[in-house]
Amino acid sequence: MNKEQLNALLIIAIETAITASKVIISVYESGDFTVEAKADKSPLTKADQLAHAAIVAKLEATKVPVLSEEGQNIPFAERVSWRRLWVVDPLDGTKEFISRNGEFTVNIAFIEEGKPILGVIYVPVLHELFFGIVGSGAYKVDAANRFDGISELMAAAIRLPIKRDDAKYRVVGSRSHMNERTLSFIESLRKTYPNLEIVQRGSSLKICMVASGEADIYPRFGPTMEWDTAAGHAIALAAGKRIAKSDEKGDLIYNKKDLLNPYFIVK
């Protein structure tokens, strides 16, 4: 796929993420936090469902199939023929949404031959936009809601990573899933980086922090699904970072038969 085609897909993905964000915020501000339990007992809200419908409707124009957390029951026998696909999490960080801490995102990724090529992450409460195309760079836009059009918005984007002034080695970890193995790994890093600082964030914001240069590493020794990481993975790669399996034996791949990711490290 050439650069012009990817740029066209990027614009569609950004517009789609903003549309989904507006749907999520309308539910967030309404106070309707009715929660259902999915098959894996994780929470599902009205915002998840409405954002999923909005995203699928917008991406339909690309004629590229969509794999979404809220539409994950597509048989592998059908998915295996998908050379290209969108991998989407309509509301990443449902627990953060319910707790009203603002650390939830809309994640949209374009995958080709199992590899993340393009990613968009929007933070509805903060109106932060992260996006990137592998080989073309990653960018961030603050207060993205102040722009009238996509071209104006993209012109204001800042290239990632952004250089930090402080000398601290910053590790970002999950706000909801900080386990013993993760803590042990962080302690092992202290031998090399005695000035180490731990920061906790929800959702795909952890990957965004490494991509932007706000953090140096994000170790994940807990379960995640493909839609949790695909958009962030593309943005991290576009920013010159890497997401590798925790055993260093290869990178994460997408549209697998089993949609569960292996443990990984972003740095």
pLDDT at 223: 93
Q: 53-94 pLDDT, tens per residue?
A: 999 999 999 999 999 987 788 999 999 999 999 999 999 998
Q: 97-107 pLDDT, tens per residue?
A: 888 889 999 99
Q: Where are the beta strands (DSSP E) in the chain?
A: 35-37, 43-45, 66-68, 84-92, 105-112, 115-123, 128-133, 137-141, 158-160, 170-174, 197-201, 218-220, 243-245, 264-266
Q: Is the pLDDT of residue 245 over 90?
A: yes
How do the domains of the chain map onto residue ranges? 3-160, 170-266
Give the pair of three-digit tokens for residue 93: 């960080």
% of the chain surpassing 90 pLDDT: 78
Mean local confidence (pLDDT), 125-141: 97
Q: What is the pTM of this model?
A: 0.94
pLDDT at 1: 87
* Fold agreement between 3-160 and 170-266: no
pLDDT at 186: 93
pLDDT at 69: 84
pLDDT at 73: 86
CATH fold label, 3-160: Fructose-1,6-Bisphosphatase; Chain A, domain 1 (3.30.540)
Q: Is the pLDDT of residue 112 over 70?
A: yes
Give the pair of three-digit tokens for residue 206: 């952890």
Q: Is the peptide bond before 124 cis (omega within 30 degrees of 0)?
A: no
User: Which CATH number among 3.40.640.10, 3.40.50.170, 3.30.750.24, 3.40.190.80 corresponds to the domain 170-266?
Assistant: 3.40.190.80
Q: Is 99 exposed, middle or buried (0-12, 13-18, 19+ CB in 10 A)?
A: middle
How far apart, in whole angstroms, are the C-alpha atoms of residue 239 and residue 234?
9
